[in-house]
């Protein structure tokens, strides 16, 4: 154990401790060291079993119970905050054992705080009880760490002003800790306390500009992910329309805790191109790009809606780039954003729209279904977009294009209906060919 405690790395510490594992149940000092080291490496195999073992053996020891619950919370935090919890995961197990421990130690602030923190991990259904438990623990013993935990509970519940108050109280006790300063900046941006946000970001070392909401220049584009539902375009997604999922998009950060979406979403999400969103700077996932590990951030709130019109389109083209050529004819400032392409072998008469007419199928030809969104800034007249789009479509007769929401926005019901029919023709043509193959 002395070798483990003196080790310079966790791996060295584990190499020293591993042979002693069987003695955890009989050596309290070893069990305490084991729990503490596991809390710093919760992804280690057997961590949950070890926590439960300690709770069984040392269940009447308040300090050891707290350590085991802290380990279960660390394991629970391996699941990002924006992902749903599965029944029986570490957060549910922590709640179950924290409730039992609270019955054994009803006056323990530490056990009450552990229960509150476990409930925070369960999300919205447990928010009120989580906050109540943490507030009770703080009344008994106003630790700075628990005030910060209370702020996180309010943040997860989207109670940002209450979160800001809790974080500031934690700061009085803990000082300008970096994680706490990020929390303070985030909560302040969310509730419009711009000077507080600017001050916290400057203490973190950022150059902050702007007199209103803080702006930190030169931050690189960052990937986020958004929870999504269906769009009615189920032919072009791997998920059923009724299924929830995640979609990744890019933001241009305006600070480490908020930014503006620079790519539109394909499925329905709480935010889209041009919206300003509040993000948690602690990554929910990572991806590797050019050999480098890049963070993916989770979205907490929409701070402001963009004024752009986002118009989904679907097109059938014969050659790569045909649809993009139509998009290139749009007024300056518009974006013809491609979400993806499906390549199918389709009967040319089906591709021309004859899916509802019985006919002898001709030898299939390659057609490309492309889908995405037209992004039209508010200052550009939609009527001018329509004129350019229809002229470009006439110049490219090999493209079957549908943008029904453009005509809906122009209150042109007849042409909106025609565009919806064209959309259906393309989808049915693709579906018919897939069923034949």
Supply the CATH number for residue 410's domain.
3.30.70.260
Q: How far apart are alpha carbons 385 and 369 in whole angstroms?
A: 22
Per the listing, tokens 């200052």 go with 379
- Are β-strands 400-402 and 245-255 bridged in parallel, bridged antiparallel, or unpaired? unpaired
* Judgement on whether residues 199 and 172 belong to the same structural domain of the protein: yes
Residue 15 belongs to some domain of the structure: yes
What tokens does 32 get? 């305490």
Could you tell me which residue, 368 or 253, shows the higher pLDDT?
253
In tens, the pLDDT along 85-115 reads 988 899 999 999 999 999 999 999 999 999 9
The pLDDT value recorded for residue 346 is: 60
Out of 203, 233, 263, a domain closes at 203
* Judgement on whether residues 187 and 64 belong to the same structural domain of the protein: yes
In tens, the pLDDT along 107-163 reads 999 999 999 999 999 999 999 999 999 999 999 999 999 999 999 999 999 999 999
Residue 217 belongs to some domain of the structure: no
Q: What is the pTM of this model?
A: 0.86
In tens, the pLDDT along 297-324 reads 999 999 999 999 999 999 988 888 889 9
* Judgement on whether residues 367 and 346 belong to the same structural domain of the protein: yes
- Are β-strands 222-229 and 292-304 bridged in parallel, bridged antiparallel, or unpaired? parallel
Out of 254, 280, 304, a domain closes at 304
Question: How far, in Å, are 143, 157, 260 from residue 271 at the CA level?
Answer: 37, 18, 10
Structural domain of 191: 2-203
With a pLDDT cut of 70, the percent of the chain lying above it is 89
Residue 103 belongs to some domain of the structure: yes
The pLDDT value recorded for residue 236 is: 59
In tens, the pLDDT along 12-58 reads 999 999 999 999 999 999 999 999 999 999 999 999 999 999 999 99
The pLDDT value recorded for residue 437 is: 46
Dihedral through CA 391, CA 404, CA 266, CA 155, nearest 10? 120
With a pLDDT cut of 90, the percent of the chain lying above it is 73
DSSP H helices in 248-361: 322-327, 348-351
Residue 432 pLDDT > 80: no
Residue 23 belongs to some domain of the structure: yes
In tens, the pLDDT along 326-357 reads 999 999 999 999 988 877 666 666 655 555 56
Kindly report the length of the chain: 437
Residue 398 belongs to some domain of the structure: yes
Q: How far apart are alpha carbons 279 and 300 in whole angstroms?
A: 6
Residue 215 belongs to some domain of the structure: no
Residue 188: partners with Cβ closer than 8 Å, 6 or more residues away: 164, 194, 196, 197, 200
The pLDDT value recorded for residue 182 is: 98
Mean pLDDT rounded to a whole number for the chain: 90
Out of 304, 333, 352, a domain closes at 304
* Judgement on whether residues 181 and 250 belong to the same structural domain of the protein: no
The pLDDT value recorded for residue 151 is: 98
* Judgement on whether residues 232 and 155 belong to the same structural domain of the protein: no
* Judgement on whether residues 313 and 299 belong to the same structural domain of the protein: no
**Domain CATH for 169:** 1.25.40.10
* Judgement on whether residues 238 and 326 belong to the same structural domain of the protein: no
The pLDDT value recorded for residue 84 is: 87
Per the listing, tokens 């919760």 go with 42
* Judgement on whether residues 124 and 195 belong to the same structural domain of the protein: yes
In tens, the pLDDT along 181-239 reads 999 999 999 999 999 999 999 999 999 998 889 999 999 999 999 988 766 565 555 55
* Judgement on whether residues 55 and 112 belong to the same structural domain of the protein: yes
pLDDT tier for residue 425 given thresholds of 50, 70 and 90: confident
DSSP SS3 for 409: helix
* Judgement on whether residues 267 and 191 belong to the same structural domain of the protein: no
165: closest CA among 143, 188, 146?
188
Residue 214 belongs to some domain of the structure: no
* Judgement on whether residues 327 and 299 belong to the same structural domain of the protein: no
* Judgement on whether residues 167 and 257 belong to the same structural domain of the protein: no
- Within 10 angstroms of residue 204's Cβ, the number of other Cβ atoms is 17
Residue 209 belongs to some domain of the structure: no
Structural domain count of the chain: 3
The pLDDT value recorded for residue 218 is: 94
Dihedral through CA 69, CA 71, CA 76, CA 81, nearest 10? 100
The pLDDT value recorded for residue 430 is: 66
């Amino acid at each position: 154990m002395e070798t483990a405690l003196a080790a310079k790395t966790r791996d060295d510490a584990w190499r020293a401790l591993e042979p002693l594992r069987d003695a955890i149940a009989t050596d309290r000092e070893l069990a305490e060291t084991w729990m503490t080291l596991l809390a710093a490496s919760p992804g280690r195999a057997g961590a949950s079993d070890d926590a439960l073992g300690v709770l069984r053996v040392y269940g009447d020891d308040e300090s050891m119970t707290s350590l085991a619950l802290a380990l279960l919370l660390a394991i629970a935090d391996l699941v990002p905050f924006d992902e749903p919890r599965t029944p029986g995961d570490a957060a549910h197990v922590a709640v179950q054992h924290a409730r039992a421990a609270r019955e054994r130690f009803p006056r323990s602030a530490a056990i009450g705080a552990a229960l509150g923190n476990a409930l925070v991990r369960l999300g919205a259904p447990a928010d009120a009880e989580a906050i109540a438990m943490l507030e009770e623990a703080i009344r008994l013993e106003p630790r700075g760490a628990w005030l910060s935990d209370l702020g996180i509970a309010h943040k997860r519940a989207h109670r940002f002003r209450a979160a800001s108050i809790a974080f500031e109280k934690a700061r009085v006790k803990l000082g300008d800790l970096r994680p706490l300063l990020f929390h303070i900046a985030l909560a302040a941006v969310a509730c419009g306390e711009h000077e507080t946000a600017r001050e916290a970001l400057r203490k973190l070392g950022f150059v902050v500009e702007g007199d209103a909401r803080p702006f930190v220049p030169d931050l690189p584009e960052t990937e986020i992910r958004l929870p999504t539902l269906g769009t009615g375009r189920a032919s072009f997604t791997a998920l059923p329309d009724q299924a929830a999922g995640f979609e990744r998009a890019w933001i241009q950060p305006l600070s480490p805790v908020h930014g503006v979406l620079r790519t539109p979403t394909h499925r329905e999400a709480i935010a889209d191109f041009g919206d300003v969103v509040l993000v948690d700077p602690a990554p929910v996932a990572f991806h590797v790009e050019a050999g480098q590990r890049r963070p993916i951030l989770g979205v907490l709130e929409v701070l402001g809606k963009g004024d752009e019109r986002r118009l989904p389109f679907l097109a059938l083209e014969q050659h790569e780039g045909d649809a993009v050529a139509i998009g290139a004819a749009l007024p300056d400032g518009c974006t013809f954003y491609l979400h993806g392409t499906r390549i199918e072998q389709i009967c040319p008469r089906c591709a021309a729209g004859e899916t509802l007419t019985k006919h002898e199928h001709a030898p299939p030809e390659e057609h490309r279904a492309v889908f995405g969104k037209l992004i039209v800034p508010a200052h550009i007249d939609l009527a001018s977009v329509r004129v350019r789009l229809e002229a470009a479509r006439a110049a490219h007769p090999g493209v079957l294009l549908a943008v029904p929401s453009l005509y809906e926005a122009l209150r042109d019901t007849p042409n909106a209906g025609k565009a919806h029919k064209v959309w259906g023709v393309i989808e049915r043509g693709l579906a018919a060919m897939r069923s034949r193959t």
